[in-house]
Amino acid sequence: MELFWYIVLMTMLAIYVILDGYDFGAGIIHLFFAKTEKDKKAITNAIGPFWDANEVWLIAAGGVLFFAFPTLYASSFSGFYLPLIMILWLLIFRAIGLELRGQVHNRMWEAIWDKAFGISSLLLALFFGVALGNVVRGVNLGNVVNGVSTHEAHFFFLPLWNPTFSPHAEELGIIDWFTLLLGIIGVVSLAIHGANWIIFKTNSDLNEKLKKVVFSLNIVLLILVIVSISIWHIIDPNPFHNFMVHPWLWIFPSITIVGLFGLFKVKSFKKHGIGFLFSSLFLFGGLTTTVASIFPKVLPSTNSINPDLTLYNVAAHEYGLSIGIYWFVIAVILVAVYMFIQYKVFSGKMDDVGYGEH
């Protein structure tokens, strides 16, 4: 039962990353590559009707986390207090940037909200990468000081950083060089993903340039991925253990590789959606490979006193989890219907949707 909800939660998170990922990516592209008013319009049209429905996946995944794994929800949300609240602020800034820009026709007004939208998109991509890095690296559960827990075994608190920025420091921080590396991978991969979405959903003049951008960024991404894999053993001495025991898990890294290398052919794709498909595969594969490598841990402990949090010791009680399946299945069918209708009506290019014009 715990396993079922674990798979549900991971699937929802992956969907969230793929969907809101293209929103953040489009924001990053907007920040660096959209020069003309037409380019900007194309980008906001491409994400306008979708972004708030995409963010619902975050709320829904948060709800499932709360309901199925209350201990993990309580532990991680209070332990990562500061970055989570900052993510909330960034989400708010991003949304108002996107929604308010078109409300007043004034160059300074537009410039302010363009930057708010772009910069918060960039920081969100960075923070989500950093968050994944923290989950892999683990935290000081129970806030152990000098061999003694100062809190209950599953609670902790991390400051934003420590002076050494080392993932091995006595006192850990949320941002260290390892989590920052994952954050940068997050920014680069979502920028690629966002560019692919824009190519997919618009006929913008920007698209030819974006194909070149995707190609170059993909080289950067490949290098970053190789670097991170080669140093991964520093934070997890045996990262391939699960893959050796359960060889079928190799499917996840394989998906990542297909996505990553497929993107190098971006210039020759006939259909505009193919690039988006490959970057989605990369994101899905990258996320699942990472969580599979620490399975069944969901938040490792960096001290030897308090045990890791695993999906089994953080889950809710049996009855609630079983009864939840009934309503969840009904809800998933409904959500699939809504999404089908929504993407059917807004299928094809979005250039004429007139988003943000009031």
Under the rule (CB under 8 A), what is the footprint of other proteins? Answer: 49-50, 52-53, 55-56, 58-60, 62-64, 66-68, 70-71, 73-79, 81-82, 84-85, 88-89, 91-93, 95-96, 99-100, 103, 143, 151-152, 154-157, 316-317, 319-320, 323-324, 327-328, 331-332, 334-335, 338-339, 341-342, 345-346, 353, 355, 357-358
Least distance (Å) between residue 358 CB and other proteins: 7
Least distance (Å) between residue 13 CB and other proteins: 13
Of 48 and 262, CB closest to other proteins: 48
Least distance (Å) between residue 165 CB and other proteins: 21
The alpha carbon dihedral of 7, 8, 13, 19 has a sign of positive
Of 7 and 92, CB closest to other proteins: 92
Least distance (Å) between residue 202 CB and other proteins: 16
- Reference 58, options 88, 81, 94, 28; nearest CA is 88
Of 232 and 328, CB closest to other proteins: 328
| Neighbour-count burial for 33-45, b at 16+ CB within 10 Å, e otherwise | bbeeeebbbbbbb
Of 62 and 239, CB closest to other proteins: 62
Backbone φ and ψ of 175, nearest 5°? -100, 115
Least distance (Å) between residue 264 CB and other proteins: 34
Of 8 and 220, CB closest to other proteins: 8
Of 100 and 292, CB closest to other proteins: 100
Least distance (Å) between residue 65 CB and other proteins: 8
